[in-house]
Amino acid sequence: MFEKVLVANRGEIAVRVMVACEELGIETVAVYSDADRDAGHVEYADEAYNIGPAPASESYLDQAEIVDVAERAGADAIHPGYGFLAENAEFACRIESTDGITWVGPPSDAMETLGEKTKARTVMQESGIPVVPGTTEPVDDAEEVRELGDEFGYPIAIKAEGGGGGRGMKIVRSEAEVEDALESAQREGEAYFGNDSVYVEKYLEAPKHIEVQVIADQHGNVRHLGERDCSLQRRHQKVIEEAPSSALDAELRTEIGEAARQGVREAGYTNAGTVEFLLEDGEFYFMEVNTRIQVEHTVSEEVTGIDIVRWQFRVAAGEELGFAQDDVKINEHAIEYRINAENPAADFAPTPGQLTTYRPPASIGVRLDHAVAQGDEIGGDYDSMIGKLIVSGDDREHCLERSKRALEHFAVEGVHTTIPFHRLMLADEIFVAGEHTTKYLDRELDDDALEAAVDRWGPAEATGGDGTQSETAEVTVEVNGRRFGVVIEDGVPQTTAGNADGGTASGGGPGADATPEVATADAVTAEMQGTILSVAVEPGDEVADDDVVCVLEAMKMENDVVAASGGTVESVPITEGDSVDMGDTLVTLE
């Protein structure tokens, strides 16, 4: 077994990996950026190294620096977590060719084959697994896309080869949308995954997202740990995941599990991975393979009792999987709730700020994967996840009952979170019945219901997202010996500093269809720290209100920045690739 592992990640997943190391008697090395000096993963590790400034490109994505630190620290393995370099075959290859350091993940050539979606589709198709109808070659020409639209029928999806989490995916409903969608998918692919190559798929209207967890050793053994249902999505991003799926019967479960095993075996895959499928009308179609540990691996661990991260280390060290396929039993039901610092009532805009209160639930059936504590600052440099709440029960109904209790006892103040949204879902008939498809939230989620949920279950005081801040105080009084908590409100919501002109910030989903960020009349300023992906105007241009002036990437999302009112562009002090801080001027108007 390894003696010292460098974890090339941050946040909850870095801690999750270190937990497995600790139990295996392995020492841990953390890396961190300037923004993460006080982060939970740094504190958890046995030793830690600063690898650069806040922007991920200068720290968590700096391959040479990370390898250098691993060598200086004397680490004999690197675990990448998810995100950042986890699916970067070039990085995996670099580690494979570094003496004395093992890559805790699949071989780089399997990552390359399966990581590029068109190659993965070819491999699966060749091993007889049904794939979503579409191309197995990249396309780069709008005319070609239009021809494919005619062939498959609209809607179609243009997807970045390296994409994931809905990023780099554009849905095209008619011929007229092809040009813009193609450009935007290519731009997002380049910005997020360093690969502007895209391909085309038929876009299924109301599928279930079913994915199979696999793990393979270096001795030819491949096991699957059952499926996860990740159908509850907002703009193609998973928000609640569970295992098992109520959409599968025993026969389909075996069939889809065997297809996943077959597919990864064919690709010479080892270590943990996920094979994703879409399920519609009882038919499943391969979508893609994620060649890494996933955010939602936890629910599979809960229902099977198998520690996937521990096995990642064991198979990377050359051990044989110690259980047969028949030994894998699904004993419980588990649901994961992503607890993000976002305001559900403001289009899920990220709300960086301080966790003035942070008291997660405990007791039977509750697991918390997080790397924060009360008093911590949730910064705006990385994604908005605070942690994950995983609840297990005997069956789905029991799990839902327990989830109600757990979420009710999850106290967070200081920032908005997705907790009110989750509580709303627990009262949602379609979700509770397990009938939701991936399109359910985008079609049916009601803004008024979200607002009411945030009012009812949201923080008493929070900054960001809705541009307001209200002060409250709580006192305890006893009346005839009975205890009451009384909340005294300061009343009028105040406008926060960064938003003094009354604009509303909102991030929301990725891409051009994200709800726009409204800026001020004469100066368009950044609502949050981020990187300029593209600039749409130059001095002298006439803009109307709501025109996009630039695209800002913040907290891993693409946000269109629009002018609050029209005018002539006077100056554009930014260019593509610039890092900007909250409040920086992006464009001035006359």
Which run of H or of E encompasses 150?
helix 142-152
Report how far residue 247's alpha carbon sits from residue 455's, in angstroms, rounded to the nearest whole number. 33
27-32 and 47-50 beta bridge pairing: parallel
Considering the complex, what minimum distance in angstroms separates the CB of residue 199 from ligand ADP?
11
Considering the complex, what minimum distance in angstroms separates the CB of residue 311 from ligand ADP?
21
User: Which is nearer to ligand ADP, 73 or 264 (by Cβ)?
Assistant: 264
545 Cβ contact partners less than 8 Å away, ≥ 6 residues apart: 562, 563, 564, 565, 566
What is the radius of gyration, based on Cα positions, of the chain? 24
Considering the complex, what minimum distance in angstroms separates the CB of residue 203 from ligand ADP?
4
Using rule CB under 6 A, residue 247 touches ligand ADP: no
Beta strands in 165-296 (DSSP E): 167-172, 198-202, 208-216, 222-234, 237-243, 271-280, 283-290
Number of residues that make up the chain: 590
**247 strand-pairing partners:** none
Which part of the chain contacts ligand ADP (CB under 6 A), choosing from 157-165, 375-383, 410-418, 565-573?
157-165
Classified as helix, coil or strand, 107 is coil
Considering the complex, what minimum distance in angstroms separates the CB of residue 164 from ligand ADP?
4
Considering the complex, what minimum distance in angstroms separates the CB of residue 86 from ligand ADP?
12
Q: Torsion angle, CA of 538/539/542/547, rounded to 10 degrees?
A: 40
Judged by CB under 6 A, the chain residues 207 through 226 that form the site for ligand ADP are: 207, 209
Judged by CB under 6 A, the chain residues 164 through 203 that form the site for ligand ADP are: 164-166, 169, 201, 203
Q: How many helices (H) and strands (E) does the chain have?
A: 16, 36
Beta strands in 375-446 (DSSP E): 377-378, 385-393, 411-415
Instruction: Please return the burial class of 237, using the count of CB atoms within 10 Å of its CB with bins 0-12, 13-18 and 19+.
Output: middle
Considering the complex, what minimum distance in angstroms separates the CB of residue 437 from ligand ADP?
9
User: Which is nearer to ligand ADP, 234 or 370 (by Cβ)?
Assistant: 234
Which part of the chain contacts ligand ADP (CB under 6 A), choosing from 136-144, 284-292, 307-315, 379-387?
284-292
Classified as helix, coil or strand, 535 is strand
Query: Of 94, 236, 253, 396, which lies in the binding site for ligand ADP, with binding defined by CB under 6 A?
Result: 236
In the structure encoding, which two tokens stand for residue 126, read together? Answer: 């060749």
In the structure encoding, which two tokens stand for residue 323, read together? Answer: 């259980």
Considering the complex, what minimum distance in angstroms separates the CB of residue 229 from ligand ADP?
11
Count of chain residues binding ligand ADP (CB under 6 A): 21
User: Which is nearer to ligand ADP, 172 or 355 (by Cβ)?
Assistant: 172
Considering the complex, what minimum distance in angstroms separates the CB of residue 295 from ligand ADP?
10
Report how far residue 244's alpha carbon sits from residue 237's, in angstroms, rounded to the nearest whole number. 19
Query: Of 52, 105, 106, 163, which lies in the binding site for ligand ADP, with binding defined by CB under 6 A?
Result: 163
* Residue 266 near residue 258, CB atoms below 8 Å: no
Query: Of 233, 245, 312, 392, which lies in the binding site for ligand ADP, with binding defined by CB under 6 A?
Result: 233
- Side-chain-facing half-sphere of 297: CA atoms under 13 Å: 27
Handedness of CA 449, 451, 452, 458 (dihedral sign): positive
User: Which is nearer to ligand ADP, 62 or 201 (by Cβ)?
Assistant: 201
User: Which is nearer to ligand ADP, 172 or 462 (by Cβ)?
Assistant: 172
Query: Of 66, 110, 132, 349, which lies in the binding site for ligand ADP, with binding defined by CB under 6 A?
Result: 132
User: Which is nearer to ligand ADP, 31 or 278 (by Cβ)?
Assistant: 278
Considering the complex, what minimum distance in angstroms separates the CB of residue 181 from ligand ADP?
14
User: Which is nearer to ligand ADP, 158 or 582 (by Cβ)?
Assistant: 158
Query: Of 300, 384, 438, 499, which lies in the binding site for ligand ADP, with binding defined by CB under 6 A?
Result: 438
Q: Which of 141, 138, 155, 143 lies closest to 183, judged by CA?
A: 141
Considering the complex, what minimum distance in angstroms separates the CB of residue 165 from ligand ADP?
4
Using rule CB under 6 A, residue 288 touches ligand ADP: yes
Using rule CB under 6 A, residue 458 touches ligand ADP: no
* Residue 136 near residue 113, CB atoms below 8 Å: no
Instruction: Please return the burial class of 324, using the count of CB atoms within 10 Å of its CB with bins 0-12, 13-18 and 19+.
Output: exposed
Beta strands in 452-500 (DSSP E): 462-463, 468-469, 472-479, 482-489, 494-495
User: Which is nearer to ligand ADP, 76 or 276 (by Cβ)?
Assistant: 276
Query: Of 157, 198, 533, 552, which lies in the binding site for ligand ADP, with binding defined by CB under 6 A?
Result: 157
Edge-to-edge strand list for the sheet holding 567-571: 523-525, 585-589, 567-571, 542-543
Contact string 508-537 vs ligand ADP (x = CB under 6 A) = ------------------------------
Considering the complex, what minimum distance in angstroms separates the CB of residue 446 from ligand ADP?
20
Using rule CB under 6 A, residue 287 touches ligand ADP: yes
Residue with tokens 């005081």: 461
Rounded to whole angstroms, what are the CA distances from 318 to 67, 217, 275, 297, 505?
22, 7, 23, 22, 50
Which part of the chain contacts ligand ADP (CB under 6 A), choosing from 61-69, 158-166, 329-337, 427-435?
158-166
Considering the complex, what minimum distance in angstroms separates the CB of residue 539 from ligand ADP?
37
Report how far residue 188's alpha carbon sits from residue 198's, in angstroms, rounded to the nearest whole number. 10
User: Which is nearer to ligand ADP, 114 or 412 (by Cβ)?
Assistant: 114
Around Cβ 528, how many Cβ atoms within 10 Å? 24
User: Which is nearer to ligand ADP, 83 or 464 (by Cβ)?
Assistant: 83
User: Which is nearer to ligand ADP, 132 or 309 (by Cβ)?
Assistant: 132
Using rule CB under 6 A, residue 161 touches ligand ADP: no
- Which residues of this chain interact with ligand ADP, rule CB under 6 A? 132, 157, 159, 163-166, 169, 201, 203-204, 207, 209, 233, 236, 276, 278, 287-288, 290, 438
